[in-house]
Each structure stands twice: as structure tokens, then as C-alpha cells.
Structure 1
Amino acid sequence: MAAQFGRRLRRGATSGAIVAAAVAALAASQGPGAIPPPTDNLNGDRAIGAGDATSPAGGIDGGSATGDSPYYTDLPPLNSPNRPGALPTSPTVPIVTGPAAAGIPSTVLAAYRRAEASVRATDPSCNLPWQLLAGIGKVESGQARGGRVDANGTTLAPILGPVLDGVGFANISDTDDGAFDGDTTHDRAVGPMQFIPSTWATWGQDANGDGKKDPNNIYDAAQAAGMYLCAGGRNLAIKADLDRAILSYNRSTEYLNTVLSWFEYYGRGAHTVPDGTGVLPVDRSDRPVTGRTVRPSGSASPDSPAPSTSPSPHKPAPKPSETTPPSPAPKPTEPTKPPTTDPTRPPVATPVEVPPTLRVARLRPGTAVLTAVTESTFAQAATVTAVDASGRPVAGVSVRFELPATTDARFPAGATTVTVTSDARGVAKAPALRAGAKAEPFTIRATVPGRSLPAAELKATVEVRKADALARIGDTALTAQTGAGYAGVTVEARLGGALAAGVSVTAVVADSTDAPTQSADGPSFGKDAAGNPIRTRVLKTDAQGRLSIGDLVAGEKAGDYVLWLTAPGGGTVKLTLTVTAPATTPPPTTEPTPDPAPTTEPAPTASGSTSSSPSTSPSPTG
């Protein structure tokens, strides 16, 4: 016990300065042999399909990822591992061996490195190193029980922590109805990274592309852990942020120091070992310290320690006894040759599981024809298959899909670049692609980040929306006096008998039905900024396949004109527009002056003169 405490004390005394420098160095180098993650991080580069790639709303709620469940307290050896150099870069590189404690099962290591690359692509300012995930994985589950996982990264048996019923541990009532931990009364930490169900419900990821978020899958769990550690805008190259991140996983100073010790140890060197052969820890925070630090892998789980296996002392050859009759001296025989392999290390001839990104030899483009009409979603997704040199599919490969700058098509959230992970069949499927307003062909490029493999190219085409028939709704004559507006016009577009939405229809005011040549005097759609009449414009049908024209104005010249409406696909309709001159008002008329009535000539008088007015004499003159 004293020796164990002394080791921990020596570790803790130096961890602060060393780890701070180690994090900064790993942030720059990504650790020994790490696969370079995507470096552009532009145009919305996201690991879609490899997790949500964004931190859940609300961030960390003040609890811990594991519910402060028990953890392994074994510490790494005091002697530093001999730095083995870079991990294999191709299947032909010899296996690199080192101290048993520095060995990480190949699939588990691939999951840590995959999580680092994914998180760095979406949150580069966090500076997540895979060695930190390895340190947590060692403390939580002994690297998934020494790498006892299948080809897809799922543990061969569930890894469950103790029941969190408040007896010696936190009291956390059931939150998942037993879906993950099989307990409908209380929660238990689940999987190689030991997430409690309530935390997994928020942070769970699907990093291996199998369509489900499984805490027992090392790919899913490692990526979820990486995103959880980076939450809240943390920069893990800063010691204070690193400490806060680890303490958010389990609120224990002893836990912090233990994880930092393994993190520092893996930062100085690590190597791959075959799955299932990793060294398992023994001591747990909820059990007495046994003084043992490592043991060979077996069937033990975090909630049930395996019985110790101490090596049997070598028994010398039995001496002759009284019951054994003497035998004649044997003939000289050839000396027995010593074993050619060191039993304490994995044999050098054992094949190593090379990380998926290093095993992939090329990307094979899918055969789907990628076509869409403007402003719609492509019916088929862009896919490629990651294969090795023998043509066999490779799962867990990061694949980046990139759109050219010339197209206005976009992935979700307006992204022009997305990163996804190949599934168990080696297929990497890009998220739904939506066409823009431009009708044109373009090429999608698929590459493997960190590898110089030739890009796989996928051809895509965006076509215009079409209508093979246009018809006016209503038959009221379109007549207006010069300078006046016309009544509204509604036209319906169809393609193959179905309503055609989003079709661009060209409207032209012409002089005749012979050709849609723009008129110089006919009606217009108003005037432009310079005051010139607009007689040609492009309209678009709505979701019901209809378009309305309500701004037609008659010109100053009376006569009959034609409104041509044409659509891609052959749809055409011609509407007569009549311009009438305003009615003329006749000038006001005046009554003629009547001629004066004729007068009677007066009778002549005896004197021979006439009088100006007739006069009558009442009596005859003498």
C-alpha cells in the first residue's frame, strides 16, 4: 500500500508541468503516428454521419459522464516506454513492440484516433489528443477489457459499472427504462467509456455508421467522449481546461491524477497489440489496493475482478525416490533448444490490425446517377466504397465529400464539404444534397483525409424544371384603355398532366402571334429605374403550379397585342391584349337663332308716304 501511494505521489508531483507541455505538443503533432486530421476546416466541414458533430444544446449540466462511478486506479510503470516511433503506415511495416502497458488493442486505438480526427475537423480549437481518450479508456474499462470487441468495435459482452443505488456510490434512478444497462430501477455506467444512460442520451454518437448510437461500441463511445471533453469551448492544450474536462468525466482528484498519468505515459510512446490481448488493470477505486498494477487479459469485467494468477514456481526435476527403481544412465541426447519467442510479449509474427485509414487503398465511386431539378433534393445520395488493396471493403474510414466552387448545390446547413465514415460494407454515404437555382453539371470529389489517394469523382447534373402545357384560368377579355391597368391574369402549368411547381415562365409582350418578338408600343409590366417600359420578364409558378400577373399596363397606342408565355418543356400560351383609345366627347351644340316673323306692308296714305308702324283710323277722314 505504501509503495502504491508513493508511486501515485511521485506521479502527481510532476504531472502538472509535464502534462501541460505534453498537451501542447500533442496538439501540434497529434501524437506519435497519429493520422493527420482534416486541416482545412472550411466551408462547413462536418463529420456528418460520424456523429452529430455539434455539441448538444445546453452543454454539460454540472454532473459527470460516468455518474462518478468507480474506476481503475492502476498507474503506468515508473520507467518510460521506449518510444517506438510512428505506428505502421502500411500493412507491410513490421510490428512494433514495446512495454506491455503501452500496448493498445488495434480496434480500440483506431477508434481513439478516428474520434480525434472527427472532433478536430469540427472543433479544431479544442485540440483533442487521442492519448487523452486512451487514458480515460484505460481507467474506465482497461481499453474495452483489453480489446475484446468485434470487427465493428462493439464489445463482445456488455461492460457495466456497479448499480448506482446510493450504497457506496451515487444514487441515480433509472433514466433509460433499462435500455442500455438492463436495470429498470437504477442506472449503471455502460460501455468502454462508462457513460451513464442519461449522459449518453444527450451525447451519444454513431461514429461507425451502423445507424445506431451504442455506448458499447468503442467508435461511438470514443467520439462521444471526445465531444463531451471539448464541451463549453474548452481548449485542452490549456492545463486548466484539461483538468476541468477530466473532472467533468468523474469528479475526483485521484481520478484526475490517474488519467493524467496514463495520458502522459501514452504521449511518450504507444503501440498496437492484437484485439483481446491488451493488459487489463486490477485495482479499482471501490476495492482495497492489491499492490498489483497489471495482469494478462482474461474474462474479467469492471464489476467483477478476475482471480489473481501468480506464476507457478519452476519445479526441479524429481529426485529418485525409494519407490522409483534406479534406471540405467540415459544416453546422451541433444540439448533442448530454448523457445524462440519471449513468452512475455506478443509474437512478432502475429499480424497487426492496421487502422482503417491506413488499410484503404482506393475509393470506388458509386454507380447511382445523380440528377435533380433546380431547388430540389437529389433523389440519390453520393456514395463511395472504401476498399483495400485486395478489393475488400474497409469499415471505419473517414471520407470527405467536396463540392466545386462553381455550383450552388449544398449539403445540409449550407455546407460545401462534409466528412462521413464508411460502414461495415465499406460504403461512405454523403448526406442529402440539394440543388440550387443554377442548372448545370458538376463533379463531387471524395477523398480520404490524411492520405494522398486519388480522389473518387462523382458526376452530378441539375436540370431546369419543365412544363409541357400552360393554360389561362378564366376567359375574360383583356382590354384596357391607353395608360390603364389590366385585370389580373392567372396561368396554370402542368407536366405530364401534373401541376408543375417552380417552373420559370418567360412572359413577352409582342405585336403578333407569329413570333414572341418584343413590341415597341404595346402594354408593359411597368417601367425600369430609367423610366423605360418593361415588356419582357421571367415569372415562376408557385407550389400549386400557378402564376399570377397583376401589373400589366396598356401603352399609349391603341390596338391588339399578344402576351406570349413560354416554359421549358414546350408549354406555351398566347393571350390577346387589347388597347383602346379613350372615348372622344363631341363639342357642345348651340340652338340656331330663329328668323324674325314677316311684317305686313302698311297701306299707302293719300299723301303717298308710308308710316313706320301701321295705324288704324277709327273713322274715315273726310
Structure 2
Amino acid sequence: MAAVFGRRLRRGAVTAAVAAAAVAALSASQAPGVPSPQLDNGRSAADSSDEGQGPDGASGPDYYTDLPKLNSPTDDPTAAPGAGSPGDAEAGIPATVLDAYKKAEAELARTKPGCNVSWELLAAIGKVESGQARGGNVDANGTTIDAITGPPLNGKGFAHIKDTDGGLYDGDTVYDRAVGPMQFIPTTWAWAGRDGNGDGKKDPNNIYDAALATGHYLCRADRDLSDAGDLNQAILSYNHSSDYLATVLSWLEFYRKGAHQVPDGTGVLPRHPSTGGGTNPTPTTPGLPGTGGGKSPSSPKPDKPSTKPTDPPESPRPTDPTDPAGPTDPPTSTSPAETVTKLGVAGTGDLSAMAGDVFTAKASVRATNAQGRGVGSVQIRFAVVGDTDATFSGGATTAVATTNSSGVATAPAMKAGEKTGEFTVRATVVGRSLSGVDHKASVTARAADALARVGDKELSCVAGQEFADRVTVKATYKGAVADGVAATATLIKSADDATEADKGPYFKDADGKAIRTFKGLETADDGTLVLPKLYADDATGTFLLRVTTTGGATLTVELKVTAAPAGGASESPAASESPSPSASPSA
């Protein structure tokens, strides 16, 4: 690592203080009790995913190696780009891009407060990955005006990942490419993507979505990014390269010392891609330095020395058997996924759940080869397909799981939303165009199988008056509280005749008219339901009120109406109304 920083210093691109900070951070990650980051083609055990899959990189193979100027920026947010120290111009971050980083920081502070992700870290990664979306070349919604895609992941010098998104994000139907301002690989975006601007979409080409997704990705494995060891592990999980780690740490330190907002499209563009291959060039924009951030074929090659003889060739992505791309050294080796010839259902139970509940069964598949034997270490992508709001844990609609030694992969548990009906859980082999497997799933309405009255006080009323006490019931399902369950209350003729009564107690609708069936009721969070107020006409005797719920729970309650006292009492307004039932409205 010392040799790496020596080379950087000779290029006049980083201060001794920044270098020392990065080295110190690397050393801290190797302290007792903290897993040591592997700086070769291996992976650290700390990089386990909380998305139901093995670890993998988020970033593509190509990134910018440019480092901050020797002088730090000023802390004056009003300073014009280029004013003051040489670092001031580089400290300018395009307005929309900076806003996306800060909004992501605020959202993660709310949802993952223990992670302590900072907008400066997101800015450091954004600078290295795409030069802050190519100098802020984004529209008002934060979507890149020109596509930012990396080279094809065809195994020639880096990972080998056949197309997984049908070219949806990267425009390539043969191989996957890293895409967007934070350079997500489509297989990673499939489970890591987030909607950062609230437009209902998860678009890796949108800086708001990509910045929030980056924060969530870095916060995996319960990391605390205020800890140097966790910070290093997070950055290495994004792109498993010692040079990449050092470069990001340098920009992080730089932005912590000061940064300011500049207009979109005027950010300083870096010029030195790590591979020399570069992402797709951007057409020359008047007023902007460079053409496409040095990614154009006409841009000069980076002054990048060779790695130390003892270092193995760096892979832009970790390459253990669970990686969807398979080994990248040599590129021609066969990955486990490429030996799979069939994907079949593996003992999946009934995928059904009540609205709001967790599915007890999980989708499960088995990957086999031509000899019918199970194939391990194959990544399987599970996707929720159809008109449903059911999701996997964390609100994701996709998840990736790795097959075990028997070839079986099981999806994470799903949780049903409020939308009822049928949908599909589709399983496919990551990186292969093999036929997938569909699991039928369904969500049923919230239901109760038992109703009980709360309290035992007699419910009585004088003819022509209103009942002093309201009927309260509690719903349960298999002994547990049944909340949000639809219910109907009806005054019936008798225990054997559940048709609506034509005399006796009644409810009132919103217009004050007498009704004897009240629909649209719903149990509260504790399963209780307080019925609307009841009134009595001039009929006396014992009457029956029946409450029913979705799921078949039924309860019948007695209501007694007595005659008015001798001498007569003034007739209440309620009694003067016709008790004849009108059409039963919703509550």
C-alpha cells in the first residue's frame, strides 16, 4: 500500500495527510476483532449480504483514479469555483447531485441510524464512479441526460456476466454493464435498487435512486461507518480493489474539509479511468472541460504504473463461487451457473397469506445439471411478479439466494400487503437465459374466525329512545388479535331467520335515516369494534343484532326494548322517524 501512495504522490495528486489517513484506516480494519479486508481476489466474511444472497460488488470494473489536489478546498460555501486554493474547483459538486447525496444521508439517518453514512462518503464514491454524474449532466429530476455505462462484462480482463436485464438499464442484451452515476451492475441493482425521489421507480440512471441505493448497500451487515474497519469493508464490498479503497478515502477526506454547490453541468470532470477502456463517452458539452470526463477514445491514457509483482491481478469484483459471474481468472473457466440445465420446484409449500401477514411458506427451487445432480453455488433470482404489493423482507420485490450443495435455493420470507389476489414468484438463474420457474401465490383479505362481546352489561332501551351503551366486540383469528377485518352488523328477525328485521332497534346512516344493516365496519388494531349508536322505535320486546366478519366469524347479541313508563314520556325525535330500513349504506 505504501508503494501505491508513493506513486500517487509523485503525480502530485494527494497530500501526505490524506495518504496517512487512508493507511491508518486500512490498518484499523486489521485490528483485533475486526475482519481483515482481503486486498486480492478473495472476500471478507464481513461482507455478508442482508438481502438473502452472498456478497458481491456493486460497482462495475471501471472507475476514475484522479485524486484531489494537494491543497484542500476552502470552507467558504460562497467561493466561486476555482477561487482560493487549487482544490476549490474540485470541491464544487453539481447542485442536483449534492442534493441527492444529502437527501440520502437524511433518509438513512432515519431508517438506519446506526450506520452513520455521510453524504461526503456518497460524494466520494460518486466522484470516483462517474465524476459526479459527469459534472452534473442530469435533468431536473436527477436522471442522467446521457447514459453512463461501463464496458461489457465479457470476462476479458474482468467479470463475465451475461445479460440479466434484457438491456433495460445498460442497453446491452449480450452482456451486463455497470450503469448509472453510481455504476451499479444490473444483478446487484435487482435487489439493491431504491426509489430515492419518490416517483415510484427504481432507476440506476437517477442520482437520487442510485445515491440512496449506495447508502443501503454500504450499510449492509449492520456496519457502523463511523468505525474505520467497517468503513473499509463497506468500500471494498462496493469495488474489491485496494487502489479503489485508497482513492475513495482520499476524496472522502477532501470533501470533509469543505465542498460547495455549483450549477448542474459545470462540475470538474476527471480524466483518468482505471482500465483505459472507459465508460461510453459523452458528447462534448460547450463550456465543460474535457469530452466525457476523459472516457473518450481520444482522451490520454492514465499515468498508471503497474501493480507490485507480488500482488495478484486485481479483479474489479470479488470472485468466490457464489458470484453470479463465476470465476474471472481465467475468464474462460466454467462457472457453476453454466452447468445448470434445469430449474425445478423444490418442496415449496402453499404460498398464501392473509393481508398484512408474513407468508409461512417460502419459494424454493433446485438447480440440476445434465446428469440430474444438484449444482451448488449458483445464484437464483426470485422476483415478485404481478399486481400485488407483497414484498420480500425490507420491501424489496426481488431477492437473490445461492444454492446449497444439493442445488436448492430458498427465497427469503415474503410479507403480504393489503392488496388481495393472485401473483407469481418467478425464479431464474442469474446470468443465464435458462427457463425460469413460477410459483403461484395469493393474498386473502384479513379475516377473523371468532367474535366475542366486550362486557356483559344488559343492552336495553325504552321504546322511542336511544340505547345508552354501544355494542363492543373483539375479533380474533386462531387465537390472535384480528385487526383491520371487515365486518357487518345487521338487526335480524330471529335466530333462525337472518334476514333483516323490519321493526325494532335500528342504526342511522350519515343522513340520519333509519337503517338496520351497517356495512363497511372494520376492527381496530387491537381487534375491537365499537358499533354505531342504536335507537329504538315503538316496538317492544327482545331483538337480535348479528355481527359477521370476513372469514366467517359470527356473534349474535340480544337487545331489549321496554315500554315507556305509565303517564307517557315525550316521544323522542328518533321514534318519529320511520324505522323502515333503507338501502344499507357503507359506514
Per the normalisation by structure 2, the TM-score is: 0.48
TM normalised by structure 1 equals 0.46
Structure of larger gyration radius: 1
